[in-house]
Amino acid sequence: MRFSKLLMIGVCALGLSSGAALSAQAGSVKVEGTRFTLDVPQGWNPGYKDTDKLFMIYFKDPASGAVLEGVYLRGEQPKSFALDDFKKARVGGEDKRYEGKGHKVAKQGATTIGGAKGAYLMTTWKEGTKDMEKHTALMLKDGQRYLVVMAGAKGKVDKRVFDQAVSSFALVAEKK
């Protein structure tokens, strides 16, 4: 599977607003306008969400329907907010989101994301009769929260794509 390097530096992505620019060279995609980079498979359909609470760039696999997301949650956390607090807040939020759908943490552990200590979660739930799974890597850096997430129908999520995105994830220094 071929991957493209995705660069995000400020407020927007994919050239969808005036703050971002998109270019492709030698099999890579470069998006300038946000805070991080990660590798994504070529041919996946891109999109983004930009709200007061988060900035998310996502890519959907046209074959399986699985979605890979890079997320920056806005709002600096206090110095006392630790990675374990972030993980607990994430699980609590997902429990509410999937209430009544059998949401549970199937696996959890440590990971490395952006060269820093991170947390890994694999959660499952049901959408109607369909079993779903979600892989999440969480990173806390200088009070800022970042996630790489991949979700889809159970058995249709290629975890190698998630692992590549997590291993390639890197923060981009803000221009001053």
pTM, 2 dp = 0.83
Cβ atoms within 10 A of the Cβ of 92, count? Answer: 10
Residue 33 in this model has a pLDDT that exceeds 70: no
Question: Quick one: average pLDDT of 64-72?
Answer: 93
Q: What are phi and psi of 99, to 5 degrees?
A: -55, 135
Q: How far apart are CA 134 and CA 154, in angstroms?
A: 9
The model's pLDDT over 122-145, given as tens digits with 9 standing for 90+, comes to: 999 999 999 999 999 999 998 999
CATH superfamily of the domain spanning 3-171: Mog1/PsbP, alpha/beta/alpha sandwich (3.40.1000.10)
The model's pLDDT over 7-19, given as tens digits with 9 standing for 90+, comes to: 443 333 343 333 3
Can you give the pLDDT at residue 9?
35
